[in-house]
Amino acid sequence: MIDSRTQVLLIDDDPHLRQALSQTLDLAGLKVSSLADAHGVAARIERDWPGVVVSDIRMPGIDGLQLLQQLREQDPELPVLLITGHGDVPLAVQAMRAGAYDFLEKPFASDDLLDSVRRALALRRLVLDNRSLRMALADRHTLSARLVGQSPAMLRLREQIGALAGINSDVLILGETGAGRLDLSLFARLVALRRITLYKNKRKDSMFKLTAKALACALSLSIAGMAQAADPIVIKFSHVVADHTPKGQGAALFKKLAEERLGDKVKVEVYPNSSLFGDGKEMEALLLGDVQLIAPSLAKFEQYTKQIQVFDLPFLFKDMAAVDRFQLSPEGQALLKSMEDKNITGLAYWHNGLKQLSANKALREPKDARGLKFRVQASAVLEEQFKAVKANPRKMSFAEVYQGLQTGVVNGAENPYSNIYSQKMHEVQKFITESNHGVLDYMLITNTKFWNSLPADVRSELDKIIVEVTAE
């Protein structure tokens, strides 16, 4: 059975997204249990379990809709939040009609998930309180113990209270102090709970009315707030690695310093572990203005400029000190501005370290790599390196690497130690060769139009913060 202390049961077959969402919920103070599939879940949840379920829709085996049906057969009032990808909105609407509490369309902000989960938990508590009150009403001895007396008036009052439990109506309780209004008020609460449940069931029918009210409210609030400070500039920082990696720590420090020094002028939202966009989509998102800061690997700029491919050449840098010397040189700094005609401005280089080879066999000589399938980033230079030693390069997004190594889709990879450790690649790779054969650094980049549109004082302070974060 699912532990009764668990507040959120998270089900998603994507290990990296599951890890990121679990971390988000855990950091918000929620007790989370996560599963890779929905097999047997319904049988493990007791009817009065006090938590909520968050599930992906598209999963192998039992999908999110089938799980929803199973859970509703067991407990129609259990909140189930469904996660849907692009193109799944009609499916999600179908799920809402079938009884899902809410759905979130990928990519979504962490705050949206937390807000929906907290509302669902609040409703769940009310539902369970509702059930407890109904059980108390069913027990005439319990009711008689609280409302004592056997006069015709008291007997009639108890009968009327019992009847009220099944009626959807507001109740006004009159009486002098000490007459028992506190006990009777339990039933006013019961009726209120019923009205909340009724609202949820009629959610679709009232959606447009609620939207109109919300818009009117938002408009009035906007007018009232015009005399107050303007909304902060929102800077979304998306990346694909864990928080405790060099890039993750850099993003967190940037957020901390920016909000400390610029106050309510800016708000920085950090999305780690591909929770907003994966490395295959983050560049497109930046150009569309969906995010404002990303820090891709230097191997990701092939289609925007060939100049940065210099970093992909093997054994070009003896150590990280040599990397520093080049990046700080006039030639290295010029590369930061080499894509501004493509609406991409480089702000800084961020270190991640020299690359090491990993595989399920020892790699001591170039011939040992012959025939192995290596995951590589989307770089023609990197592909040619592995072809030169008769290996088979396979392009693969970073979020898929662990699973690819685990299932044998690829046999090896090249990564700095921070990536190997943070993504637990050492669990699925028997050997690591300390080859230091290339650098895997990042370029912190922004949308050029966005950056140039910032107020001069804000942009100047952010430039200083980036210099400070880069030096850490």
User: Tens of pLDDT along 337-348?
Assistant: 999 999 999 999
The angle that helices 110-138 and 181-201 make with each other, rounded to 10 degrees, is: 130
Q: Report the alpha-carbon distance of residue 22 to residue 298 in Å, rounded.
A: 29
The pLDDT > 70 percentage for the chain reads 79
Domain extents for the chain?
Answer: 8-129, 233-471
Q: What gap in Å lies between CA 27 and CA 457, rounded to an integer?
A: 33
pLDDT digits (tens, 9 = 90+) for 17-61: 888 898 889 888 899 999 999 999 999 998 889 999 999 888 888
Answer yes or no: pTM beyond 0.75.
Answer: no
What integer is the mean pLDDT of 75-87? 83
Q: How would residue 214 be classed by pLDDT, with cut points 50, 70 and 90?
A: very low
282, 288, 292, 297 alpha-carbon torsion, rounded to 10° = 30
In the predicted structure, residue 211 carries a pLDDT above the cut 50: no
Q: Given this chain, do its domains 8-129 and 233-471 carry the same CATH topology?
A: no
CATH topology for 233-471 is D-Maltodextrin-Binding Protein; domain 2 (3.40.190)
pLDDT exceeds cutoff 90 at 453: yes
What is the C-alpha to C-alpha distance for residues 252 and 268, in angstroms, rounded to an integer?
A: 9
Mean pLDDT, range 349-367, rounded to an integer: 93
Bridge-based pairing state of the strands 32-35 and 52-56:
unpaired
Output 463-470 pairs: Cβ under 8 A, ≥24 positions apart.
Answer: 463/347, 465/254, 465/257, 465/258, 465/261, 466/254, 466/347, 466/348, 467/348, 468/257, 469/250, 469/253, 469/254, 469/257, 469/348, 470/250, 470/348, 470/349, 470/350, 470/444
CATH number 3.40.50.2300 given to 8-129: yes
Asked if pLDDT for residue 170 goes beyond 70, the answer is no
Q: Quick one: pLDDT band at residue 2, thresholds 50, 70, 90?
A: confident
